[in-house]
Structure 1
Amino acid sequence: MNLASSELFELSVPERIRLVEHLWDSLAKDAEAVPLTDWQRRESDACLDGCRAAPEGGESWAQVKADILAG
């Protein structure tokens, strides 16, 4: 899809949403190309270390989903 920036605003809302979804999907495919900052890497490593140290911690997806839906 080749669009000038002015043409983007002429798209309908559903068309713009689809465009954003396609862009997001393309970013997800190249996630490795987006570098993490040092802070983000430390946070990610700390979270992973915590999960590995206590794999029984946290809640199941079923429980998290139920909590969300219960509001």
Structure 2
Amino acid sequence: MQRAIQGAPPGFDNLTVHEQIEHVQALWERIAAREDDVPVPERHKAELDRRLAEVEAAPDAGRSWEQVEADLRTRLSTRR
């Protein structure tokens, strides 16, 4: 039996899991559309600054997305 979540909108618990996920995604899209209204904690800003400084200090230290993706696809293909 499904447990009702406190604060869920009326009828939410009667939706299928797929419908609930779609509902939550739609809500998030509405929130994200107003990005200037979404507060960003100072610790997140500090972490972004730290990571940016790290990349700028050693721009060739990482790998491109294409390299990472190719490695992942190789790994996944050997598991099948």
Normalised to the residue count of structure 2, the TM-score between the two structures is 0.63
Q: How much identity, in percent, do the aligned residues show?
A: 35
Partner of 1:9, secondary structure, is helix
Structure 1: state its 5+ residue gaps. Answer: none
User: Following TM superposition, by how much is the alpha carbon of 1:55 offset from its aligned partner in structure 2, in angstroms?
Assistant: 2.5
Per-residue deviation, residues 24-48 of structure 1 (Å, max 9, x unmatched): 2223222332222222211111111
Q: Is the 8 A contact 2:12 2:20 kept in 1?
A: yes
Between the aligned partners of 1:18 and 1:42, the Cα distance in structure 2 is 32
Q: How many residues align?
A: 68
How many angstroms apart in 2 are the aligned matches of 1:20 and 1:67?
A: 33
Q: Which residue of 2 aligns with 1:43?
A: 47
1:52 and 1:29 map into 2 onto residues whose CA distance is 30
Distance in structure 1 (CA, Å) of the matches to 2:62 and 2:70: 14
Distance 1:32 1:54 in 2: 31
Matching residue of 2:27: 23
Q: Once the 2 structures are TM-superposed, how far is the Cα of residue 54 of structure 1 from its aligned partner?
A: 2.5
Counterparts of 1:25 and 1:37 in 2: how far apart (Å)?
20
Match of 1:12 in 2: 16
Give distance in 2, aligned partners of 1:67 and 1:28. 32
Q: TM-score, normalised by structure 1?
A: 0.69
In the alignment, residue 41 of structure 2 is paired with which amino acid?
Answer: T
Partner letter of residue 61 of structure 1? Answer: W
Gaps of 5+ in 2: 1-7
